């Protein structure tokens, strides 16, 4: 039987062809938050689940960016974008639950719409804590389980559909998962759909 990781890789390989089109239709509200969040980033930066490289254009040239993703087909699109932009990013196929970097390697780690897809998000967050420098920050733009009873109910009802077709969960309790990985939430803002989309700054 295929592991959850293998299933996730296959799903994202499959959606890679129409991912940018699909996300482009939903993204407009998040663009300003991405720009603001990523403009402050500098030094050694790791983007987890870099996907098709939709966020690469938001980094300034003080950021030395490494991007990893489970899906070779998503990543190949990021590599094409990087070539067109003539920027020198390091883009690698890698599992966020098993990062091949030394302890305390990165000043910033970026997670945008990723903790919903990683099969074991707490394991990935443990790995992020390990590779983050002591004063580093994890910057997140993530959707998660709502506190609102109606939204909570709908997220749980529709989760099998989003997970089955696209590979992401809409009912992840990401705030609890961050705490389970012994990380600290330093800033928390609700940015869209009541409290579903959040901007978080997380540290050790
Ligand atoms: C919803 S997409 C987000 C992509 C990108 N961050 C964006 O903002 O467009 C989720 C990405 O996480 C990747 N992913 C899922 N599980 C992963 C894992 N265990 N390790 C690395 N990447 C993973 C998927 O392959 C996919 O590219």
Q: Does the Cβ of 8 fall within 6 Å of ligand 1? A: yes
Task: Give the model's pLDDT for residue 1.
Answer: 65
Q: Is 168 in the pocket of ligand 1 (CB under 6 A)?
A: yes
pLDDT by residue for the chain (204 residues), tens only, comes to 689 999 999 999 999 999 998 887 776 678 899 999 999 899 999 999 999 999 999 999 999 999 999 999 999 999 999 999 888 899 999 999 999 999 999 999 999 999 999 999 999 999 999 999 999 999 999 999 999 999 999 999 999 999 988 889 999 999 999 999 999 999 999 999 999 999 999 999
Residue 49 Cβ < 6 Å to ligand 1: yes
Does ligand 1 lie within 6 Å of residue 97's CB atom?
A: yes
pLDDT given at position 28: 67
Q: Whose CA is nearest to atom 16 of ligand 1?
A: 118
CA of residue 54 to ligand 1 center, whole Å: 11
Which CATH number fits the domain that encloses residue 111? 3.40.50.150
- Please provide the DSSP assignment of 136-171 as one string: EEEEEEEE---SSHHHHHHHHHHHHHHHHHHS--S-
Q: For residue 164, give both structure tokens.
A: 């089955």
Q: How many domains, the chain?
A: 1
Q: Which domain holds residue 13?
A: 4-203
| Sheet hosting strand 63-69, strand order edge to edge | 90-93, 63-69, 43-48, 106-112, 132-143, 197-203, 184-192
Pairwise CA distance, residues 8 & 22, whole Å: 18
pLDDT of residue 87: 86
């Amino acid at each position: 039987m295929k592991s959850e990781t293998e299933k996730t890789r296959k799903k994202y390989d499959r959606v890679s062809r129409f991912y940018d089109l699909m996300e482009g239709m939903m993204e407009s509200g998040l663009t300003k938050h991405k720009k603001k969040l990523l403009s402050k980033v500098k030094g050694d930066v790791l983007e987890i689940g870099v996907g098709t490289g939709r966020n690469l254009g938001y980094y300034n040239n003080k950021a030395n960016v490494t991007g990893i993703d489970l899906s070779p087909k998503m990543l190949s699109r990021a590599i094409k974008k990087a070539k067109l932009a003539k920027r020198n990013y390091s883009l690698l196929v890698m599992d966020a639950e098993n990062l091949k970097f030394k302890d305390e390697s990165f000043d910033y780690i970026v997670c945008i719409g990723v903790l919903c897809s990683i099969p074991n998000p707490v394991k990935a967050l443990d790995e992020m804590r390990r590779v983050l420098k002591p004063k580093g920050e994890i910057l997140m733009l993530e959707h998660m389980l709502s506190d609102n009873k109606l939204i909570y109910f709908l997220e749980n009802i529709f989760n099998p559909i989003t997970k089955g077709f696209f590979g992401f969960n809409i009912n992840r309790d990401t705030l609890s998962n961050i705490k389970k990985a012994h990380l600290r939430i330093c800033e928390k803002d609700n940015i869209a759909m009541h409290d579903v989309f959040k901007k978080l700054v997380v540290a050790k």
